[in-house]
Amino acid sequence: MTNRIKVERAILNLTQEDLANRISVSRQTINAMEANKYVPSTVLALKIARVFNKPVEQIFFLEDED
C-alpha cells in the first residue's frame, strides 16, 4: 500500500509533529508511514483522512502486490 500523506501534509502546511499530535501518535509513526514502511490500522487511516478532510481512498492506495 502506498499513500500521499506527505503531499496532503504539505498542502495543509503541517509538519510531521503537527500531524502526529493531531492524531495522537508518535512522529516515528508518521515518518514510517510516509516512507511506506508501516501500514496503519483502519482506525489510524480514518483519523488521518479526517485531518485532511478527504475519504481514505484519496490518501491510501493499494498496489499490485496487495
Residues that bind another protein (CB under 8 A): 15-16, 24-29, 31-35, 37-38, 40-41, 43-44
HSE toward the beta carbon, residue 12, CA cutoff 13 A: 18
How far is Cα of residue 22 from the mean position of the Cα atoms in its chain?
12
Distance, CA of 14 to CA of 22 (rounded, Å): 10
Nearer CB in complex with another protein: 31/51 = 31
CB of 43 to another protein, least distance (A): 8
Q: Tell me, what DSSP letter sits at residue 40? A: P
Nearer CB in complex with another protein: 21/58 = 21
Nearer CB in complex with another protein: 41/64 = 41
